[in-house]
Amino acid sequence: MLAKTLAALLLVAACVSIHATGLSAAFGWLRRRRGFSGSHWHWTGVFVLLAAWMIVLHLFEIAAWGTFFHWNGTMPDWASALYFSAVTYTTTGYGDLVLPHEWRLLSGVEALTGILMCGWSTGFFFAVVSRMFDSSPSERRG
């Protein structure tokens, strides 16, 4: 049980590291831009790019869990491991695939991690929108 808990905590740490690195890169990209000015279409493009980037981060995190499930033999093949991980991380939980009894606690930890990482992404989006609206009207005209 201790080894499984340690594995879960290492996977959580990997997800936090992936997310922190990815959002830091996105923040740096936004800071290099000239302020928070621009048209509606400019901001639409920025948000599309940010959403795509965050989805990529989540996919890397799902892949980390899926790789672990495939590596330790708890899923029959790579495709099943990734599918199970995606369904669990997003808390969809179809239930058509389940971990062996002794590993089931990890699925709950993955779901909690997915909730936390999605919340972090939402908070980042909110921060960007707040910065956009906090900029002065002259900055927004571009």
**Rounded distance, CA 5 to CA 107, Å?**
11
User: Domain 2-141 is in which class?
Assistant: mainly alpha
**Rounded distance, CA 31 to CA 36, Å?**
9
pTM comes to 0.87
**How many CB atoms are located within 10 Å of the residue 60 CB?**
15
At 5-40, the pLDDT tens digits run 999 999 999 999 999 999 999 999 888 876 556 677
Position with higher pLDDT, 1 vs 100: 100
Spatial CA neighbour of 139 closest among 58, 59, 38: 38
Q: What is the largest CA-CA distance in the chain?
A: 60
At 54-69, the pLDDT tens digits run 999 999 999 999 999 9
pLDDT at 1 over 90: no
Q: Are 79 and 41 in contact (CB under 8 A)?
A: no
- The ranges assigned to domains in the chain are 2-141
pLDDT at 137 over 70: no
